[in-house]
Each structure stands twice: as C-alpha cells, then as structure tokens.
A and B are shown apart, each in its own frame.
Chain A
Amino acid sequence: MIDQLSWKVGGQQGEGIDSTGEIFAMALNRLGYYLYSYRHFSSRIKGGHTNNKIRVSTSETRSISDDLDILIAFDQETIDVNVHELRDGGVVIGDSKFNPTVPEGLNVRLYSVPFTEIASELGTSLMKNMVAIGATSAVLGLPVESYLEVVEEIFARKGAKVVEKNMEAIQKGADHFNELSGGQIDGFQLNKADGKKRMFMIGNDAIALGFVAGGVRFMAAYPITPASEIMEYLIKKLPEFGGTVIQTEDEIAACTMAIGANYAGVRTITSSAGPGLSLMMEALGLSGMTEVPLVVVDTQRGGPSTGLPTKQEQSDLMAMIYGTHGEIPKVVMAPSTVEEAFYDAVEALNIAEEYQCPVILLTDLQLSLGKQSVEPLDFSRVEIRRGKLVDQELPDTDDKDGYFKRYEVTEDGISPRVIPGMKNGIHHVTGVEHDETGKPSEVAANRQKQMDKRLRKLKNLRFNVPVVKQGQHTDPDILLVGFNSTRGVIEEAMPRLEAEGFKVNHAHIRLIHPFPTDEMKPLIDSAKTVIVVENNATGQLASILKMNVGQHEKIKSLLKYDGNPFLPSEVVMKCKELV
C-alpha cells in the first residue's frame, strides 16, 4: 500500500482532458484524499497537446511530484511527451484507437484499452474519458461506485439515463483493464484516506470567495489568463448580493472605474495579469495620490510582453513594488497557499481601507490555477475593518468654503475619509498635489507635508504573519526563501535535504512590500547560505532581499524560467550545487 501517487491524463486540447482530470480528482477528493493538480495547456482552444497531472496523497501536498505512476493517453503524442516522467514499473493506458506504443528499453507497463470504441458502443464517443477513468480505478483498486456521486451531480441535469450510461462506461473501462491485466497489479493501491470533507478549488476561487466574504460588491475587469476565474466567479455571485461586474473596454478603464467606485464607498476590486497591470500603472499612482483604497490582483504569468501566457512565472515582482511614476505608499502581499489566498483577499480589502492606498494581491499561475484540496475555511476569521471611514453625521466645518479636510495632516498620516453624498463632507480629490481639503496646491511647504503624510501611513503597517518560518535550526546550513506557489516545493525539498545531512530553514515571504526587514534579518544572519527560489530569470526577490538586508555574499539564486513550476528534485539538486 502506498500513501501517494501521481496520475496524468493527456490528449489534444478541446478533447475533454480537463473534465477527465476533474472527475477523477473530485471523486478522490470526496474520499478524503488530498489532491494537487497541474494543468499544462496552451493559449489556444482546440488542438495542441494538453495534460493534467494530479497528485493524490493521504496527507496535505502543495507541489507536483517528480515522477508519474499512471499515464492515461488519448493520443500517441501524450506518450511521447510524457513517458519519460513515469517511474520504473509505471503504467500507461492508451486508447486502442491509435495503437499506443512505448519506447523500447523503458520499464513501463502498457495497456491498450479501447476507450473510444467502448464509449461509442454505449452511445457516444464523448464518454471515452469515463472509460479511461474506469481503467484508472481498476489500477488503483478503487470501487467504481466511488464515482457515482460525482457523476450524478455532473449529469443530473441530463437525466438518469445519462448518469447510468456514464457509470456503465466507467464499469466497462474497469472490467476491460482487469481482463487485460489478469487482476490487481501491485504497487498502486492507496492507503485509505481520512474521509474528511474538503473543498477542491483553485487559488482564484479562494480569492474570489474571499472577496465576496470580505464585502466586495462591484468589480471592473478585462479578461486575461490566468486571472479570469476571479471575474467569472464574481459575475455569478455578486448579483445575489445586489452587486455586479462590468467587463470594461480595457484595464485602464477597469482600474479607474474601481477607483471611482471605491471613492464612492463600495469595496471594488479589479484583477489581471502582467499586461493588464502594465496598463494600470498610471491609475495605481492616482489611487496612491488621492488616497482612495484599491485592491488589484496580479496573477503572474510568463512575461515579458505577451510572454508565456499560460505558463508559470514570478517576474512581476519589481514592477508591482515600484510600478507607477513618483512615490506612493503601496502594499504588495503574496499568499503562499490557497487557504492564505482566501484570508489575504479579505485582509487586502481591510488594509486598503485602513491605510487608504493601493494594495496588490500577488499570485502566480500555479497558485491561481493549480486545483487542490483545501481544508474548510474559518468564517470567524473573516472580519471587515474600514479604518477611518466616517459613518456618523459630520458637524459644520470651519473651512471658508465649507470643505471637509479629507487630507488632514495627522500623526499616523491617515486622514478621516468620507464618501460622496454625505452632508458637510464635501471635498475635492485630485491627482495634483493638494492641500488638506483637496484643493490643488504647489506651495512647497504643503507639498512636503502631504508627501510625508502619505508615505508615513505604512510606517506602522500591521500585517499578520509577513513571513512564514519553517525549520527550527539556530545555525542552518541553508535558508530557503521563496514567495507564492513555491512554498509546496520548498517544503518537500526540506526533509530530503535534511536527510542528506543539511540543516535547513525556510522563510516564505508573504508581505513583499513594505519589506519585512526586521523579520528577515535574523533569519539571514543566522544562515550559512541563503538560497532564494524563484520563477524568474533575474533573481528579483534575491535583489530585494539584498537591498533591504545586505549580506550579498551569502545570498544565492535558484532560478527557473522555462514556464514550468519547480520539481522538488530540482530544488534538492541545485541546493546541493549552491552550498
């Protein structure tokens, strides 16, 4: 019996590869296994190789595995491209339709099952994925009934007959496999899972759910991979709460519309990826200058320009920290798990309102789109804090025009905020330098006061767990540092390095800006070597670390920018080279 295995299904895009993986994973999630999936896809709708790799485990896992146990192939290309990943003794199940073959010399077991033929006999070749799922369950030794609940839910609308047919397809796939293999094959039976209920979701789902729970009632956005799911969820859900989403003409409109709506008192967000964020830069400055709260999600993907639009990368870091001309207060937060993405989405809204500045919620493609098992979320942790938003009637002001001091110079730099419609709250808002009531002013002393006031706001930023710290060594050989989705792979590399005799600590940075120097400095000081693991070509996080903490000679970079997430073995191997 084993505790984890990896399964992959591949074929041509548009052939139902995603739904095959989805049904397989959902059924196992219901049994209480922990799932973690990785979709390989291209920027086209039909055609082109695509695959979905799913890791099944009896304990929590947040990384793809180095190898593969089972490969389901709907075409020969899937075998050619992926067979090298299979472990010794791994299983390939291909559709007999294309006469699957595996290269000679590899110790893998090939089974040719007539996916398409069986499905066609049952009525439609569309059910070939069900046949494949059936064959899979035979390998795993899972009863076919495990799929019933999921199949019923998916096909309920189409009637009992369709449910029955799909279950039959699964059964036939299992039967056929068992005939070929002559009974259960060894090495693929998973230990029983805990049977606990967990969600099966992507990071974007968690962020979107966080926004709904955190009081977002309006969104303005323009579609882009890998951000669109956030918008799609809110399009579905906001009307239930009286809210709505506008698909704007571009990201400049999205960002400025969100600013307008936040100014007018509604928690409004926008989300995009690199190209959209580039278009929003001027508007981010407007939010900073006018002190209008704003939350923008940046789901990083391969850059620059259109780059690798469907691939993993973490190269927007510098742009998010420094992007926009001039100097503004800005917060950049980077959740490292799907759970965190939920709580951080709520917290981003609170921080934006409390500090009255733009907040970038940074993710990366693998965190945004990697579907995985997630423990139920804790509603009691959802809290809505609106900072110095005035919700009581205002007295008359002493300003000669009756203007409210929206930009009053205060000790913490944060001024009381009123929204339009309030009596005695009238003030002016402008991206031009302004006085306390928002009237344009070029007076040098005023400029300095207002600039200092704005920049002072984040001096005392309260942020929950800016750095996730793992490993207890006081004098580690290696401190591994990362952000966003690399958390899982680092966590998996750590025990392997420990097993080879290294003392390893791990710091995952969740607050990118303002940089948590006080938290990071002791961790870096105590380590012999610091290895910064990041999916970009220039070592952006390492540069930021050096800039804030110093210690240039001991900070090293472990980089990957070919569009794929790190594998645990790569991290282990490269770490050994670097120390």
Chain B
Amino acid sequence: MATFKDFRNSIKPNWCPGCGDFSVQAAIQRAAANVGLEPDNLAVVSGIGCSGRISGYIKSYGFHGIHGRSLPIAQGVKMANRDLTVIASGGDGDGFAIGMGHTVHAIRRNIDITYIVMDNQIYGLTKGQTSPRSEVGFKTKSTPEGSVESAIGIMELALTAGATFVAQSFSTDLKELTSIIEAGINHKGFSLINVFSPCVTYNKVNTYDWFKEHLVPLSSIENYDSSNRMMAMQTLMENKGLVKGIIYQDKVKPSYQDLAHGYSKKALAKTDLNLSEEKFNELMTEFM
C-alpha cells in the first residue's frame, strides 16, 4: 500500500513561499494514498498557470498541457483507460476564463474524473491581472481603476449545468480538503472541487485572514442536506458563494462511461486493435 510519501518527488516547487497551492498538492497526495491508489494508477493533468505546475510536483503520471485545456485532455485520458484515476487541476483563469467552455461541458458530460481548481481570484503566473473570480472593484494591473465585470458564481453555475459533485474548500484546511478530494475521487462521475488557494504575492484582498473571516462551513449549517440541489443553490446565494464543504452530490446519476452506448467495460487501452478479415469483409460489403 502506497503512503502519501510515495506520491512525492524531489522537485522543489517554484511557488512563492506561503502560496496556497502547496497545501493543495499535499492534500492530493494524502487523498491519493488514503483511497488506496498506487502512483502508477494516477494521472494528474494540469493547465497553465502557477497552479498548473502541480502535475510535475506529484509523483504519478503527469500531463501539463496548454492553458485552459486540462479538462479535455483529462477526459481523453479517462476515456482511453477507465482503470486510471484521473485528476485535472489548474487555476481560476485556466478553468473559468480561457477554459470555461470545457468546464461547463465537462460538468454536463459527467465523465468520472476529479477537477481541482486552485482559485486565487487572480492571474498569478502572468503577474497579477484580474480573473473571472475577481470581485467588482478589485484593483489589479489590468484593472487599475477596479474591475467592472461581475465575478462568476462558479458553484451556482456548476449546479445549473447539471453537476453531480460540487464542493469548495480552503487550502489551509488540509484535513477537510483531503477528505473532500477523497470523496471526489470516489464519486462516480465528474467532481468539481474549487479550492480557495491564496496568492500571497498579487492578491492583497483575498488573503488567508480574509477567507478565515468570510468562509462559512456547511457543517455549521443545521440540517444541511448535500443531496438537495435547491438547498445547495439557496445556501450559496445566501452566502455569496463563500461556503466550504461538499455543497451538492448526486449519488444516483450514472457517469458518462456507464451511459455511453457500446463503450467497453475493459479499459480501451488494453483492448485488441486488430480486426478479423471476416469482419473487414463485412464492413466492405456494406458499401457494395
């Protein structure tokens, strides 16, 4: 049995000291061990951004793709080999700006992968521009007078797009984050986990203290029922999206793989590529 240490390599992350992404990395490593994975059965696919570097810092199969495209790559990996555990990950710009189209469609497609977003409400790697998660009035290099565009309520959007697993967490809550990632991996379908992961260098508003002050744990809400979509939506709206915990989970809906007509139960990557001559002749005859 692998332990979280087996998911480590010797590469020193190039993140700034104090960056929230360190804890997200640790949580993924712990969750992977806790659910009983071996490093060679895990593929971590990431986008481009400070956060996107994560695929290189976890010892597993890793694919660092292009900006905004971690989801289609990850879905391709899973479709090719349903025996692998696939985690997609990246920043809020990666997933909710350039990659937003893929995010919405991955949600409604419901392929069994786990998507972990390191949401710092800013573009870190390109040195501090506004992100779709930045609040109105947020001053950045690209919005010197303050952003005038509304922030995306990503959890609400996920719910309306048909998500079957929606959760939010905070990078310092290593224990909670780890258990949410475990739940996401175990969920049969697409799981979206948005993690507030502060950028200590460029975001001086949404700091660790700010999140501690504003985030409402769902565990503190009496009778919160994560299988109730209406309640999930209402709670999100009442709290401006600033809640943490598993917001919604549909344990009944089958995943894409289970619904796709004819799709092999055996990992496609392990199936035989060869056609019999008889079958080939049959296919030719259809054109005659």
Q: Interface of A with B (CB < 8 Å)? A: 29-30, 197-201, 205, 209, 212-215, 217-218, 220, 237-244, 246, 248-250, 252-254, 256-268, 282-283, 286, 290, 374, 376-377, 379, 382, 384, 400-403, 419-432, 438-440
A-B contact pairs, 20 of them (CB 8 A): A30-B288, A209-B287, A212-B283, A213-B280, A217-B268, A220-B72, A239-B261, A242-B271, A243-B262, A244-B261, A246-B75, A253-B69, A256-B76, A260-B74, A260-B77, A261-B77, A264-B81, A266-B80, A384-B273, A402-B59
User: A59 CA to B177 CA in the complex, in Å?
Assistant: 71
Q: Are A209 and B76 in contact (CB under 8 A)?
A: no
User: A263 CA to B53 CA in the complex, in Å?
Assistant: 19
* B149 interface hit (Cβ, 8 Å): no
Pick from A248, A252, A259, A266: contact of B269, CB below 8 A: A266
The 9 closest A-B pairs by CB, nearest first: A239-B262, A260-B76, A242-B264, A215-B273, A264-B80, A265-B269, A430-B64, A420-B61, A199-B287
Q: Which residues of A contact B101 (CB under 8 A)?
A: 249-250, 253
Using A260-B74, A286-B65 as known contacts, say yes or no to A198 and B271 having CB atoms under 8 A apart. Answer: no
User: A218 CA to B43 CA in the complex, in Å?
Assistant: 19
Q: Which residues of A contact B264 (CB under 8 A)?
A: 217, 242-243
* B56 interface hit (Cβ, 8 Å): yes
Q: Are B80 and A260 in contact (CB under 8 A)?
A: yes
Using A265-B269, A420-B40, A429-B64 as known contacts, say yes or no to A379 and B77 having CB atoms under 8 A apart. Answer: no
* B62 interface hit (Cβ, 8 Å): yes
Q: Which residues of A contact B63 (CB under 8 A)?
A: 260, 263, 290, 428-430
Pick from A243, A250, A257, A420: contact of B84, CB below 8 A: A420
B259 to chain A, nearest CB (A): 10
Q: Are A246 and B280 in contact (CB under 8 A)?
A: no
Q: Which residues of B contact A257 (CB under 8 A)?
A: 72-73, 75-76, 79
User: In the complex, what residue of chain A is closest to B262 when comparing beta carbons?
Assistant: A239
Q: Are A421 and B283 in contact (CB under 8 A)?
A: no
B67 to chain A, nearest CB (A): 8
* B284 interface hit (Cβ, 8 Å): yes
Of B9, B80, B262, the most chain A CB neighbours within 10 A belong to B80
Q: Which residues of B contact A430 (CB under 8 A)?
A: 55-56, 62-65
* B274 interface hit (Cβ, 8 Å): yes
Q: Are B263 and A243 in contact (CB under 8 A)?
A: yes
User: A282 CA to B266 CA in the complex, in Å?
Assistant: 32
Interface residues of B in 49-96 (CB under 8 A from A): 53, 55-56, 59-66, 69, 71-81, 83-84
* B45 interface hit (Cβ, 8 Å): yes
User: In the complex, what residue of chain B is closest to A264 when comparing beta carbons?
Assistant: B80
Q: Are A260 and B73 in contact (CB under 8 A)?
A: yes
Q: Are A426 and B271 in contact (CB under 8 A)?
A: no
User: A432 CA to B11 CA in the complex, in Å?
Assistant: 16
* B39 interface hit (Cβ, 8 Å): yes
User: In the complex, what residue of chain B is closest to A237 when comparing beta carbons?
Assistant: B283
Pick from B74, B262, B275, B277: contact of A244, CB below 8 A: B262
Q: Are B269 and A264 in contact (CB under 8 A)?
A: yes
Q: Which residues of B contact A402 (CB under 8 A)?
A: 59
User: A241 CA to B263 CA in the complex, in Å?
Assistant: 8
* B234 interface hit (Cβ, 8 Å): no
Q: Which residues of A contact B277 (CB under 8 A)?
A: 379
User: In the complex, what residue of chain A is closest to B275 when comparing beta carbons?
Assistant: A213
Interface residues of B in 197-249 (CB under 8 A from A): none
Q: Are A238 and B262 in contact (CB under 8 A)?
A: yes
Pick from B39, B83, B268, B275: contact of A426, CB below 8 A: B39
Of B59, B77, B280, the most chain A CB neighbours within 10 A belong to B77
Q: Which residues of B contact A426 (CB under 8 A)?
A: 39-40, 59-61
Identify 15 new A-B residue pairs, CB closer than 8 A, beyond the known A260-B74, A264-B76, A265-B80.
A213-B280, A246-B75, A260-B77, A261-B79, A261-B80, A263-B77, A264-B80, A379-B281, A401-B59, A420-B61, A421-B81, A425-B61, A428-B62, A428-B64, A438-B62
User: A421 CA to B55 CA in the complex, in Å?
Assistant: 16
Q: Which residues of A contact B267 (CB under 8 A)?
A: 421
* B102 interface hit (Cβ, 8 Å): yes
User: In the complex, what residue of chain B is closest to A427 when comparing beta carbons?
Assistant: B61
Pick from B64, B75, B266, B273: contact of A267, CB below 8 A: B273
Q: Are A422 and B40 in contact (CB under 8 A)?
A: yes
User: A419 CA to B60 CA in the complex, in Å?
Assistant: 12
User: A432 CA to B49 CA in the complex, in Å?
Assistant: 12
* B142 interface hit (Cβ, 8 Å): no
Q: Are A198 and B83 in contact (CB under 8 A)?
A: no
A574 to chain B, nearest CB (A): 35
Q: Are A256 and B69 in contact (CB under 8 A)?
A: yes
* B260 interface hit (Cβ, 8 Å): yes
Interface residues of B in 93-107 (CB under 8 A from A): 101-102, 104-105
Q: Which residues of B contact A237 (CB under 8 A)?
A: 283
* B126 interface hit (Cβ, 8 Å): no
Q: Are A252 and B84 in contact (CB under 8 A)?
A: no
Pick from A29, A209, A253, A421: contact of B105, CB below 8 A: A253
Q: Which residues of A contact B69 (CB under 8 A)?
A: 252-253, 256, 283
Q: Which residues of B contact A209 (CB under 8 A)?
A: 283-284, 287
Q: Are A242 and B273 in contact (CB under 8 A)?
A: no
User: A260 CA to B81 CA in the complex, in Å?
Assistant: 10
B228 to chain A, nearest CB (A): 29
B14 to chain A, nearest CB (A): 9
Of B56, B76, B283, the most chain A CB neighbours within 10 A belong to B76
Pick from A252, A266, A290, A376: contact of B268, CB below 8 A: A266
Q: Are A420 and B72 in contact (CB under 8 A)?
A: no
User: In the complex, what residue of chain B is closest to A429 when comparing beta carbons?
Assistant: B63
Using A426-B40, A439-B56 as known contacts, say yes or no to A258 and B76 having CB atoms under 8 A apart. Answer: yes
User: A327 CA to B73 CA in the complex, in Å?
Assistant: 22
Q: Which residues of A contact B287 (CB under 8 A)?
A: 199-201, 205, 209, 374
* B186 interface hit (Cβ, 8 Å): no
A351 to chain B, nearest CB (A): 16
Q: Are B263 and A239 in contact (CB under 8 A)?
A: yes
User: In the complex, what residue of chain B is closest to A197 when comparing beta carbons?
Assistant: B288
B286 to chain A, nearest CB (A): 9
B94 to chain A, nearest CB (A): 13
* B41 interface hit (Cβ, 8 Å): yes
User: A237 CA to B283 CA in the complex, in Å?
Assistant: 9
Pick from A212, A256, A422: contact of B72, CB below 8 A: A256
